[in-house]
């Protein structure tokens, strides 16, 4: 047992995977507009909401993978490793949270608030990590 190998988890893979999930998120968000559920849109909303819940965090993943795609490996690699652990952890956390508070408004932690909060947290840490590594790389020259 040694280190976890992230060789297959490279810039192109992250960019393609996140783009695919952003497209899936867009389709799930616009099921009626795309004509997927024209007759009975309420039947699709539950499934679409589930898809949206689990693909929403990939919007900033796609954005940052697009940015790091054009950076050196010294900058992109730490971000990829961070994403490799943060995204699944976020998805697991989202899985255990309720969709509604069920009258427990003093604890408003639901899937929606967690998704938003984790997406903002992920974006801030990613931005700081990329900027820090870029400055660190520049200072080494």
Give residues with Cβ within 8 angstroms of 111, minimum separation 6. 53, 94, 97, 98, 99
pLDDT at 5: 58
Rg over alpha carbons for the chain, rounded to the nearest Å, is: 18
Q: Give the global pTM.
A: 0.83
Whether residue 34 contacts residue 23, with contact meaning beta carbons closer than 8 Å, is answered with no
Domain ranges of the chain: 11-140
Tokens representing 122 are: 């992920």
pLDDT at 1: 45
- Print pLDDT tens along the chain (141 aa): 455 555 667 889 999 999 999 999 998 888 777 777 766 656 677 778 888 889 999 999 999 999 999 999 999 999 999 999 999 999 999 888 877 766 666 667 778 888 899 999 999 999 999 999 999 988 886
C-alpha span between 107 and 94 (Å, rounded)? 15
Give residues with Cβ within 8 angstroms of 58, minimum separation 6. 17, 18, 21, 22, 25, 87
pLDDT at 30: 83
Q: Which of 113, 62, 112, 51 is nearest to 87 (CA)?
A: 62
């Amino acid at each position: 047992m040694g280190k976890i190998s992230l060789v297959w988890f490279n810039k192109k893979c992250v960019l393609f995977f996140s783009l695919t999930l952003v497209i899936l998120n867009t389709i799930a968000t616009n099921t009626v507009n795309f004509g997927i559920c024209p007759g009975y849109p309420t039947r699709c909303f539950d499934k679409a909401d589930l898809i949206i819940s689990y693909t929403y965090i990939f919007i900033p993943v796609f954005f940052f993978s697009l940015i790091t795609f054009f950076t050196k490996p010294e900058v992109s690699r730490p971000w990829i490793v961070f994403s490799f652990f943060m995204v699944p952890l976020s998805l697991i956390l989202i899985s255990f949270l309720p969709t509604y508070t069920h009258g427990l408004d003093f604890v408003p932690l639901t899937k929606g608030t967690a998704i938003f909060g984790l997406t903002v947290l992920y974006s801030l840490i990613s931005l700081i990590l990329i900027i820090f590594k870029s400055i660190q790389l520049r200072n080494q020259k």
